[in-house]
Amino acid sequence: MDGVPEPHTGWTFLTNHARVLAAIADNHSARIRDIAAHCRLTERAVQKIIADLEQDGYLSHTREGRSNTYQIDPGKVLRHPAEAGLTVASLMSLLVQDEADRATTSTPRVRPHATT
């Protein structure tokens, strides 16, 4: 896939759950195979993550023929106490918009630094 980095070892800023949720937010009918390739995960890992997200009510799916269409609950609150009150919609708006910007821009954007 163009623009997708090679596998990475060590820590990262986003969890695999956030990556999978963002991939689904970008394409609600994405196949597990495509999500796995985009997120650089195995299909089995993506299946487990989707099951986790469905079990806790962040995600649901509707079977349409041989494929699934996913629905994200945008009002669901993030799990960690440090993000108390933040919704899935707020997280997805950041991640999905950034992904759209990267897909349409060949030069990296520089964002201003926060000042104190």
Q: What is the pTM of this model?
A: 0.75
Supply 105's token pair. Answer: 């821009």
- At how many degrees (to 10) do helices 88-104 and 16-26 cross? 70
Q: Summarize pLDDT for 21-60 with one digit per residue, the tens.
A: 999 999 999 999 999 999 999 999 999 999 999 999 999 9
Over the stretch 8-21, which tens digit does the pLDDT of each residue have? 678 888 899 999 99
pLDDT digits (tens, 9 = 90+) for 70-115: 999 999 999 888 888 899 998 888 877 655 566 665 544 444 444 4
Please, are residues 38 and 1 in contact by the beta-carbon 8 Å criterion?
yes
Contact 14, 5 (CB under 8 A): no
Token pair 């629905």: residue? 71
